[in-house]
Structure 1
Amino acid sequence: MTAVGPDGTAASPEHSRARRLVPSLVFIALVVAAVGSLGTPLITSVATTFHVSLDSAQWTLTSTLLSGAVATPVLGRLGAGPHRRATILVTLAVVVLGSALTVLPLPFAWLLVGRTAQGVGLGLTALMMGVARDHLPGERGAATIALLSVVSIVGAGVGYPLAALLTEVGGVRAAYGLGLVVTAIAFLAALRSVPEAPEGRSARVGAAGALLLAAGLFLVLFLAGRTRLWSQHLDVAVVLAVVAVLLLSLWTVSELRSETPLVDVRAVRHPTVAGANFATFVGGVGMYLLLTLITRYAQTPDSAGYGSGLTTFVAGLVLVPFSALGFVAGRLTPRVRKRIDAPLFLAGSAVVVGGGFVLFATARSTPAELFVAMGVLGLGVGSFSAALPGVILAVTPTSETSSVMSFNYVVRSVGYSLGSASGGLVLAAGTDAGRAFPNDGAYTTAAMVGIAATAVTTVACLALARLRAPGAAPTPASTGAVRTPSG
């Protein structure tokens, strides 16, 4: 049967493919984000089921984030070449295999292997953006890229309550079983709808650069997630931090000298791209800090003198307003962006996130107040995430979309890890000896840290607005860039 367009005429094959492509791209990005977040609500259940410590169970989340951050720049470079479709399919196949390992009745070590394989899929969102920019023209492509950026974040809010409910009903294997089902569907969706990359592309992955970046990122994320190491073995932590800086510095030098860089460092150094990445980093610290504070506060029992004492599942529902309002904000952003310059819009979004911190700092005694704070956070994060790609891609060549956006994801991941770690450090400092839970005032102190982070983000975005002012001189790095409608 011939497809019919909105005007009643026969739709072209290109239009039909585009109509299938958008939901497939969004679904794949949502799945990899949700599956990546499965470790968060299951840590306690994993420790109980596999008879391991909570620190060991924490690696079901840490290993996923680490593999995602390490794999993302490699996938981004491969996605800039002629084999993007094959890269997407192979990556999803690895994720499906990893999902199967989490479900099979195997020892704990195999669960970690499976979660590590699942984390590789976190690098696919940047490739989805590259597909959208190549194959969806005009405003449709820009709106799809904005939506992909949003669902890659709000997907965590979808996975958290579902995983918690399935764990309560059928155990931890049932929750991971959900991951296997949706990743298999995502693979089939990609097989059916993702097109080949345009002709004339080329991309090579330098092994030396990839290894240097992987080692540096591993140390950064490891140190960000091990708060106990900083408090109990500060000298070791400092040495590892110095090694991480040296590795990343060597990587930067090697990338500048390489004819086939993993990440186009010169493009990343463009003032607009660098400013956007800095805003992403600091904003990521604030966003994940508030997510950590609210979910932890919601599950604190009444015996601590505060908190809501919610079960894991009900606490997961606190994330529903975050995901719902974040998605709505992402859908509305392309329309609003036609009237407001992107950096100013980013600054306004950061202010909204700061408003979520203020609400949490001043009113958090009931679950309803936590729902409201989480909803405000969702509005700010959703609009920020939707507008950010347009700022970066406005000065980025089309062929480098996947690579540059993958680097942005890495920056965001480091920000998330530091946000979670900073929250843990502040709450640990506010925990009296012999007590299992921090003092209520420690949450207020942590919220103040978040307000400071959002203030820095706002200032960075306002500085971006000055860079992009109509009277500003064009920079050489923007030569050859293809400006998207959202830029």
Structure 2
Amino acid sequence: MYKNSSGWAAVGVLAFAVAVGTLQMTVVVPLLPLLQRQLGAPLTSVSWTLTAGLLSGAVAIPLLSSLGDMYGRRRVSLAALALLVAGSALSALSTALAPIIVGRVLQGAAAPLLPLAMGLARQGLPGHRLPTAIGVLSATIGVGSGGGMILAGLLDGDYRAVFWTLTGLGALSFALVAAVVREPRPSRAAGRPDLAGAALVSVWLVCLLLAVSKGGAWGWTSPLTLGLLCAAAAVAAVWVLTARRTAAPLIEIPMLLHRGTAGATVASFLLGFALFAAITTLSAVAQGTLGASVLQVGLYLLPTTVLMLAVSVLAGPLMRRFTASALVACGSVLVTAAALWLVLSRAGSDLYGAAAVLGLGIGLGYAALGTMAVEHVEPAKTAAAGGVNALVRVVGSSLAGAVGAVLLSSGGAGWSFGSAAVAALLAALFATIYGDFSRKEMA
């Protein structure tokens, strides 16, 4: 058990690492047109710099989360940060598209840092301090997401400078975690890694995200897109059947079906969709309609970033008075209001106002989702439960990118913001219907 000062220092270091791990997922988005010009490659090929990171992260989340439960979360966190540093340096040194994509695959290994950090916090902190700690860790996802846009703008879209900055931030995170974070009460899950399950999860996620990310370019009714979607469904069905018969599966199906956990899983998927749909559409509106630069887009999203972090600090006191499910539902309603605001009006001042409401809602929802996802599982499986929650959020964000692109090209920004509002409203309903509204302290 950590002492007070060392405990908060560890949480701060882990939050910084999570923010850096999230930064690498979003910083590539504004770089795509630049990479297309500088590398002389078509946009459909350059988009793989984004897709590769998402695919790698989607596969790494359940696998590294499970390995963390088995072999130590600190050790696996350091390995993920080392891969982030290696991938960032490779991308910074590259002058061709292929090695940049390989670097992005390595960077995607940082995606499981949030569930691993949640597991470390649960091991080292007393129950009454966990809501605040998990809230801070969860909300840093928004800080990293908004910070990616700002970083790309501050560095004037220089992809080498961006990747070198990520290299330095990753190395700093590695050094801080190694020096400050400990596993005072190691809790190892029994069994061996479920490599067959990891392979099946990898295959169906790759098929799904490939179809979603490339469906617009290939055609949503093309044989390749439909074939990948059918393959994803078939392999996912095989994975479910084998997971039920495996002693230590990569993802436990009963954990997914538990009433409290299922509510958190669906709400996380929907809020991930809502956040990504909102910020990508806001970016498109700012750059297209208002003629904003990449840096100005980041400034439009600054209220979201700041308020997400501010709300996370208040997560602990709030969850001592209200349940995690109630806070997720409340946050989702605020996200719905922000998206509807942008459906009705998208002037410059409205972008700032809606971004502020969005930050309040996502900050509240994400901070409480961390607790909602793990409060019903035993401590040894905290990282695995958090990994499931992070995984569905990545899938939801990926789907939002594809759906938003289709809606923006056909019906305009209003329809895309409307999809975010619908997703957030459904998240509120699932958190209300399937959440556990009995207050309890986590062990």
- Measured against the shorter chain, the TM-score band is over 0.9
Q: Quick check: 1:147 aligned with 2:133?
A: no
Distance 1:420 1:127 in 2: 26
Matches within 5 A, 1:45-444: 45-168=34-157, 171-196=158-183, 198-199=185-186, 201-203=188-190, 204-229=192-217, 231=219, 233-300=221-288, 307-365=289-347, 367-430=348-411, 442-444=412-414
Change (3 A) 1:380 1:16: closer
Distance 1:13 1:209 in 2: 35
**Residue pair 2:271, 2:423 contacting (<8 A) in 1 also:** yes
Q: CA deviation at 1:15?
A: 4.3
Q: CA deviation at 1:118?
A: 0.7
Q: CA deviation at 1:410?
A: 0.8
Q: Quick check: 1:455 aligned with 2:425?
A: yes
Distance 1:13 1:412 in 2: 30
Q: Deviations over 1:9-57 (max 9, x none)?
A: xxx9844532431211111111111122221111111112211112222
Distance 2:46 2:156 in 1: 15
Secondary structure (helix, strand or coil) at the match of 2:71 reads: coil
Q: CA deviation at 1:108?
A: 1.8
Partner of 1:435: none
Distance 1:211 1:378 in 2: 36
Q: State the one-letter code of the partner of 1:17.
A: S
Distance 2:208 2:143 in 1: 24
Distance 2:2 2:123 in 1: 16
Q: Larger RCO: Structure 1 or Structure 2 (Cα < 8 Å, ≥ 6 residues apart)?
A: 2
Consecutive unaligned residues in structure 1, runs of 5 or more = 1-11, 301-306, 431-441, 471-481
Q: CA deviation at 1:447?
A: 2.4
Distance 1:197 1:94 in 2: 25
Distance 1:295 1:13 in 2: 42
Larger Rg: 1
Q: Deviations over 1:130-189 (max 9, x none)?
A: 000001123323311111111023311012111222035xx2211111101100101101
Distance 1:358 1:96 in 2: 40
Q: State the one-letter code of the partner of 2:389.
A: N
Distance 1:354 1:186 in 2: 35
Distance 1:232 1:33 in 2: 29
Change (3 A) 1:232 1:202: closer
Q: CA deviation at 1:299?
A: 0.3
RMSD of equivalent CA atoms: 2.0
Secondary structure (helix, strand or coil) at the match of 1:81 reads: helix
Change (3 A) 1:142 1:344: closer
Q: CA deviation at 1:70?
A: 0.3
**Residue pair 1:393, 1:483 contacting (<8 A) in 2 also:** no
Change (3 A) 1:232 1:146: closer
Q: State the one-letter code of the partner of 2:118.
A: M
**Residue pair 1:167, 1:175 contacting (<8 A) in 2 also:** no
Q: Quick check: 1:445 aligned with 2:432?
A: no
Consecutive unaligned residues in structure 2, runs of 5 or more = none
**Residue pair 2:152, 2:294 contacting (<8 A) in 1 also:** no
**Residue pair 1:95, 1:119 contacting (<8 A) in 2 also:** yes
Secondary structure (helix, strand or coil) at the match of 1:450 reads: helix
Q: CA deviation at 1:197?
A: 6.4
Distance 1:324 1:402 in 2: 27
How many residues were matched structurally? 442
Aligned identity (percent) is 30
| Mean CA deviation greater in 206-215 or 328-337 | 328-337
Change (3 A) 1:391 1:44: same
Q: State the one-letter code of the partner of 1:195.
A: R
Distance 2:325 2:367 in 1: 12
Q: State the one-letter code of the partner of 1:70.
A: V
Q: CA deviation at 1:229?
A: 4.6
Distance 1:418 1:199 in 2: 36
**Residue pair 2:324, 2:372 contacting (<8 A) in 1 also:** yes
Change (3 A) 1:289 1:258: same
Q: Deviations over 1:57-114 (max 9, x none)?
A: 2111111111011011011101112333221222211111111101114422111111
Q: State the one-letter code of the partner of 1:192.
A: A
Q: CA deviation at 1:451?
A: 2.2
Distance 2:225 2:98 in 1: 26
Distance 2:128 2:233 in 1: 40
**Residue pair 2:61, 2:387 contacting (<8 A) in 1 also:** yes
**Residue pair 2:207, 2:229 contacting (<8 A) in 1 also:** yes
State the TM-score, normalized to the length of structure 2. 0.95
Moved over 6 A (4+): none
Q: Quick check: 1:44 aligned with 2:33?
A: yes
Distance 2:245 2:220 in 1: 40
Q: State the one-letter code of the partner of 1:344.
A: A
Q: State the one-letter code of the partner of 1:244.
A: A
**Residue pair 1:154, 1:323 contacting (<8 A) in 2 also:** yes
Distance 1:339 1:206 in 2: 40
Q: State the one-letter code of the partner of 1:43.
A: L
State the TM-score, normalized to the length of structure 1. 0.86
